[in-house]
Amino acid sequence: MNSRVSVPSRSRKTLDSVDGNVVIGRRAVIDGAGTPPIVKVSGTIYCEGDNTFNCSVSSEKLEAEDNATIHGDLRIVNDVRVEDGSLEVHGIMTAKRVDVDAALYVSENLTAEEVDVGGSLKVDGNVESKDVDAGGSFKAKGEVDVEKIDVGGSVSIESKVNITKLDVGGAAKVGGGKIREVDIGGSFESRAPLEFEKINVGGVVRLADDNKGGDVDVGGAFKVEGDLQFNDINVGGKVEITGSGKGCEMDVGGKVEVGKSLDLSGNLEVGGKVDVDEKLTARNIDVGGVLRSRKATVEECIEVGGSIISVEGVTARCVEIGRRGKVRGSIRADRVVIGKDADAEDIYGRQILLRRGAQAENVYGENITIESDCCVCGELQYTNELRIDDHVSLAKEPRKVDKLPH
């Protein structure tokens, strides 16, 4: 037959095993039996507030008003509910569902299907759960294996993670691992290699080491201290990859900096400047400002509003340089357009157009058109047709040849 044990307020009592429920008055202290001490309750423990357990606790349910502190493990079969207060567990905590109005602290591992905390959640060990929801902050020192994390303020996880969905209103930091979907209002940082499918962050993203993922959508800046494999990147500000980048497409409003190579199977579109230390490959490149790389190879077209700087030159189906642009390095393309008052070095192409006021070192093409006020400082060779307007300065007489130099 089930019994009920009552502990008066402001008293201290030792409990062992209880077949039934336990009601503990305000500010009462409970000691356990055995070594290490433990209290085992087959039913529900009711805490009226500011209660302390100097032992481990095991029961079907735990309900508390105001604060409760457990100096030991807390193992609950079903639910933990704390109204208008906080719960501290100085040991391991396990339960099916946890609902705490204020704050929850666990000094070791936390295992529960659902964790709902109105304020802050702090765990010094590992966390395993299906759903973690905190209105304020979530901090964990150990590994975190959770399907969904929803936090209104900030998240800080020191070890690696395995998360299906991370949704944070402010800032989040993790120690690497796997996250299927990242949705952060402020900033996101991973201090170790990260695998992801989607990153959506309103502010700044920082990733460390070698990372592999899918789509990246960032309102501010995206920085990778290492290599990155990705699908599509869409960033409003700046992208910085200290190693190599490999993916499909990249659309950046400001600037792109890559310490090694950038290999894209799709398009690169940048409003400002592109700076790639080694090789750059893409299907199409559209840059509003400056494009710099050791070598650029493009399947279709390169359009640059400002300048191209390339030691080993650029190769594409078509290359178009904007007005007053500058090209340092050779151009090799089927179609080349040098804008008004622009300055280029060696040009190799089938169809070449120098607009009014443009200047080039050497021009080699099948069909060449040179508008007025242009200047060719070196050789001008063609195999089919040459059209030259008035007031064009040529350092040497044009030569029609059977074969162009490579």
Paired residues of 357 in beta bridges? none
Long-range (24+ apart) CB contacts under 8 A made by 141-145 are: 142/109, 143/177, 144/174
Please measure the distance between the N-terminal and C-terminal CA atoms of the chain and give it in whole angstroms: 98
With CA atoms as reference, report the closest residue to 23 among 49, 55, 58: 49
Structural contact between residues 17 and 40, judged by C-beta atoms closer than 8 angstroms: yes
User: How much is the CA Rg of the chain, to the nearest whole Å?
Assistant: 33
Identify the DSSP state of 131. Answer: E
Token pair for residue 33?
């039996």
For 145, 170, 185, 328, the CA distances from 152, given in Å and listed in that order, are 19, 7, 10, 51
For 128, 141, 176, 178, 247, the CA distances from 211, given in Å and listed in that order, are 24, 22, 9, 10, 12
Token pair for residue 198?
């989607």
Whole-number pLDDT of residue 3:
79
Q: How far apart are CA 217 and CA 333, in angstroms?
A: 33
With CA atoms as reference, report the closest residue to 258 among 282, 274, 236: 274
Paired residues of 365 in beta bridges? 349, 382
Whole-number pLDDT of residue 2:
61
Low-confidence ranges of the chain (pLDDT < 70): 1-2
Buried b (16+ CB within 10 A) or exposed e, 309-334: bbeebbbbebbbbbeebbbebbbbbe
DSSP 14-35: EE-EESEEEEE-TT-EEEEBTT
Q: Is 12 left (phi over 0), alpha (psi -120 to 50) or beta?
A: beta
H or E element that contains 291: strand 290-298
Whole-number pLDDT of residue 101:
97
Q: How far apart are CA 259 and CA 244, in angstroms?
A: 7
Q: How far apart are CA 276 and CA 161, in angstroms?
A: 32
For 129, 137, 185, 198, the CA distances from 140, given in Å and listed in that order, are 13, 10, 20, 23
Whole-number pLDDT of residue 1:
44
With CA atoms as reference, report the closest residue to 19 among 44, 36, 38: 44
Identify the DSSP state of 343. Answer: B
Write down the mean pLDDT value for the chain: 97
Structural contact between residues 375 and 340, judged by C-beta atoms closer than 8 angstroms: no
Q: How far apart are CA 226 and CA 190, in angstroms?
A: 12
Query: Could you write out the three-class secondary structure of 328-339?
Result: ECCEEEEEEEEC
For the chain, how many helices (H) and strands (E)?
0, 54
Cis-peptide, bond into residue 398, ω within 30° of zero = no
Whole-number pLDDT of residue 406:
76
H or E element that contains 229: strand 228-229
Q: How far apart are CA 261 and CA 293, in angstroms?
A: 9
Q: How far apart are CA 43 and CA 84, in angstroms?
A: 23
